[in-house]
Structure formats: C-alpha cells, structure tokens
A = this chain, B = another copy of it.
Amino acid sequence: MIGRLNHIAIAVPDLEAAAAQYRDTLGAAVGQPQDEPDHGVTVIFIQLPNTKLELLYPLGDDSPIRGFLEKNPSGGIHHMCFEVDDILAARDRLKSEGARVLGSGEPKIGAHGKPVLFLHPKDFNGCLIELEQI
C-alpha cells in the first residue's frame, strides 16, 4: 500500500540557521522559506536525489509543532510521509486493522496541495506518519 517516502519533516528551533547548515555544511539543495498559514508552519524544502526533507518552523500561535518544540527544544524529526495511490482506501484499510487516524478521519489538503491524513504515533512505534495521495 505505501509507496515512496515523500519526505521527512524536521521541526527546527531556528529556521535560518537550519537552512544554512543543510546548505553550507551538508551541501544540500535548500529552497526558500514558504509560509503555510493553513498548516501553522513555515517550511523550507531540501531536495535530495531520491526524496525531500522539510524543515518546519512554527507560524502563528496555534502551530501544531509549537508543543513539539517545547518538548524538544533542539528540534527533531517530527514525522515521515509515505505516498499512497488512494487515500480513502488506505484509511479504510488502516481503520479496519485497528489503526487510529488523527482528527476527523477525513483527508485534508496538505502543504503540497494534495489530500493527506496523519496516523496516531502510538499505533506506529512512536512515529507520526503522514499519508499523502499522489
């Protein structure tokens, strides 16, 4: 069911410093910051040859990553995103296996303009998993 790893998302306490580090120290292809007000984050994409990293920084008071950064002040890997062909079929299969889908269970439009869902980390070895329909 799951396909490609679309991205790894990393919450960072200092977006400019993290971008400079990936660009200058690690020599990666680092994009420009993009505000995503609907998702409460400012994002910088880092393109690797086979997948992407996404640096996340809180935007607004209700940012979903603010709590994560309070618990992890240095930052950390926030989630990983797998691609699926049919997000509703994926959701129904997961629910029938007892996995919890976060929120209402209805896909939302994610930062890439495509339908996404998040799965409960307690059901997946402590890892927050995003599914994105491609």
Residue positions of A touching B, CB distance < 8 A: 1-5, 8, 10-13, 18, 21, 24-28, 48-51, 53, 55, 72, 74-77, 80, 82, 93-94, 97, 99, 121-122, 124-127
A-B contact pairs, 20 of them (CB 8 A): A1-B26, A1-B27, A2-B27, A2-B28, A4-B51, A5-B8, A5-B48, A5-B50, A10-B125, A11-B125, A25-B97, A27-B93, A51-B51, A74-B121, A74-B126, A75-B126, A76-B125, A76-B127, A77-B77, A77-B127
Contact in complex: B51, A21 (CB < 8 Å): no
Best-surrounded residue of A8, A26, A27, A74 (most CB of chain B within 10 A):
A26
Query: B48 and A2: CB pair below 8 A?
Result: yes
- Judged by DSSP, the binding face of A is loop
Q: A28-B1, A50-B4, A93-B25 are in contact. Are A74 and B12 (CB under 8 A)?
A: no
A1→B51 CA distance, assembly (Å) = 15
From B3, B11, B21, A124 is in contact (CB under 8 Å) with B21
Residue among A8, A11, A50 with most chain B CB within 10 A = A50
User: What separation, in Å, do the CA atoms of A51 and B81 have in the docked complex?
Assistant: 12
